[in-house]
Amino acid sequence: MAKAIHSMIRVLDEGRSLDFYRRAFGLEVAQRLDFEKFTLVYLANSQAAFELELTVNKGRTEPYDLGDGYGHIAFVVEDLEAEHARFTAEGLSPRKIVSFAPDGEVIAKFFFVADPDGYEIEVLERGGRYQ
C-alpha cells in the first residue's frame, strides 16, 4: 500500500514562503537540502507526517505561472472562526468563510487563502470526512 509523504510547490522567495507557512500553519523546516541550481526545503509540524516541499530554483526572478491545472492543498483546523480571525490579524488576507451545503446539509465549512506565490490553500473545519 502506498503512503503519501509530501507535496511539492515551486516558490520564488524562500524567506517569504517560510514566513507565510510558519505563521499560517505552524510549519517549520524539517530539512533543507541545498544544491548548485536549486534548494529543497521540507516543511512539517507535529500534527501529521505529511510534508510540504518548497523548491527554490536559484537565479529565478519571474513568478511561476500556476496555469489552470493546480487546484489547492488543504489543512484542517479545530476552530475555523478562530483561525480565520488569527489569519486576519496576521495580515494573511483570508477570504470569507463558506458553509458548503448543496442540499441543505452543511458538508464543509472552509475559507481559502493564497500563499505569497499565489498557490490556493483551503482551510477546513475538522468534521465529517475532513479529519
Report the DSSP pairing between strands 38-45 and 48-57: antiparallel
Cell 521540507: give the residue: 42
Q: Which residues are catalytic, by number?
A: 122
Residues 6+ apart with CB under 8 A from 70: 119, 120
How far apart, in whole angstroms, are the C-alpha atoms of residue 28 and residue 78? 20
Cell 483570508: give the residue: 94
